[in-house]
Amino acid sequence: MTENKTTPVPNDLESYWMPFTANRQFKADPRLLARAKDMHYFMADGREILDGTAGLWCVNAGHCRDDIADAIAAQAHELDYATAFQMGHPKAFELASRLAALAPGDLDHVFYTNSGSEAVDTALKIALGYHQARGDGRRTRLISREKGYHGVNFGGMSVGGIGNNRKQFGPLLSGVDYLPHTHNLEHGAFSKGQPQWGAHLADDLLRLITLHDASTIAAVIVEPMAGSAGAIMPPVGYLERLREICDAHGILLIFDEVITGYGRLGASFACDRLNIVPDIMTTAKGLTNGAVPMGAVFVRKGIHDAFMAGPEAMIELFHGYTYSGHPLACAAALATMDVYEKEGLFDRAKNLEDYFEKAIHGLDDAANVIDVRNFGLVGAVEFSTLDGRVGARAYGVFLKCLELGILVRAAGDVIALSPPLIISEAQIDQLMDVLGTAIKTA
């Protein structure tokens, strides 16, 4: 008979294995967020922290919005859970219709997931299934991009291009190849908005088509703006060229808009901002303002309709999750869409872009800064590597910023900024002033 475990101690830090965190370092000096409201977090000791990251690219409408919280509570009392397999509930259909109306072109169909990682794996499976459904099952190869981040499930990790996210877990999926990334300090440092250099890198897809033959390639998946790699902005004309090449060779184009969706770049989606319609689009994060986990995969009508063949009683796509279209998540998403629309937050982000750009480029001459870049309400400050220790300088700035009252995100040698869309000009000034001080003193 095993011995009883010791009685749990409230707030004992030992049992929780934290994600993407240096656990031992954190638990030696924990940083605990106790509550939040609008633009601010509040630490366990009561200190007010200006949120410069929208949580994790997701709290676009600001924290603890009453309308969203009330909708979740009301839904929990009305219908707490409903299976999505062979059953449905009204809000799942209402939300899908509303999202489809928000998306450009004929991205008319929505499949629900619980996260961006699940959305990516769903998108990849739909792409592969689509080619099989139309009798072109040789198309199984997936093309991604170096420095790309597509979540942490095996499909998304396999098409991801960040080494540290992959090297502990191989072998991964086979049949994946990569385009070169577009980050180039020689030609693009200190760009404002989209860099002018780099569109030609899309033509590397032609090399991969020659190598593998287009008849074997199912899809190309890219982030319109690479977020987790340190906010790498798309060169002018680059994504348009990818769309052109994919169209010419029957290859599906998947946009991973988990970060860029729902106003981050001053439009509903990056594809709206750039006037490009992908074949499949993944979203999450801002979908529910981060309040309840949820993802949504948008699919063009022709792709959806290719599955709708055979006997009507047959399941067309053998895929889904226990919590697909969860009632609480749907309620949160609908309320979030209401807030976005009522307060015009996507337009607000676009209107703040010039002010944000001028403010962040005020750091161009700061010590050890080798690049400052921006697009929409996203910014990045990149540092030279400190004594060969990648990430050490940015992590030190992150800690100093927290000490001085703002939350930023460290990604390698980059500090990334993605504030809630409700941020004011005065708060943008505060964000940049504190970041500038932290760079000098970290």
Helix (H) or strand (E) holding 36: strand 33-37
| Average pLDDT score over residue span 380-406 | 97
Q: Is the pLDDT of residue 125 over 80?
A: yes
Q: Is the pLDDT of residue 2 over 60?
A: no
| Average pLDDT score over residue span 302-311 | 96
At 1 the pLDDT is: 47
Domain spans of the chain? 23-64+344-441, 69-343
> pLDDT category, 299, cuts 50, 70, 90?
very high
> pLDDT category, 170, cuts 50, 70, 90?
confident
- Please name the fold of domain 69-343: Aspartate Aminotransferase; domain 2 (3.40.640)
Strand pairing partners for 221? Answer: 254
Q: How far is CA 411 from CA 164, 305, 343, in A?
A: 12, 40, 31
Task: Output DSSP code: residue 285.
Answer: G
Of all residues in the chain, the percent with pLDDT exceeding 70 is: 98
| Average pLDDT score over residue span 397-421 | 98
Q: Is the pLDDT of residue 90 over 50?
A: yes
Q: Is the pLDDT of residue 4 over 70?
A: no
Cβ–Cβ < 8 Å for 176, 159: yes
At 310 the pLDDT is: 87
> pLDDT category, 5, cuts 50, 70, 90?
low
Name the strands in the sheet holding 141-145, side by side, starting at the edge strand that comes first in the sequence.
109-113, 295-299, 280-283, 252-256, 217-222, 141-145, 176-179
At 206 the pLDDT is: 98
pLDDT in tens, 231-256: 999 999 999 999 999 999 999 999 99
Q: How far apart are the first and last CA of the chain?
A: 53
Instruction: Characterize the bridge pairing of strands 369-375 and 378-383.
Output: antiparallel
At 11 the pLDDT is: 73
Top-level CATH class of 23-64+344-441?
alpha beta
The span from the CA of 64 to the CA of 396, in Å, is 29
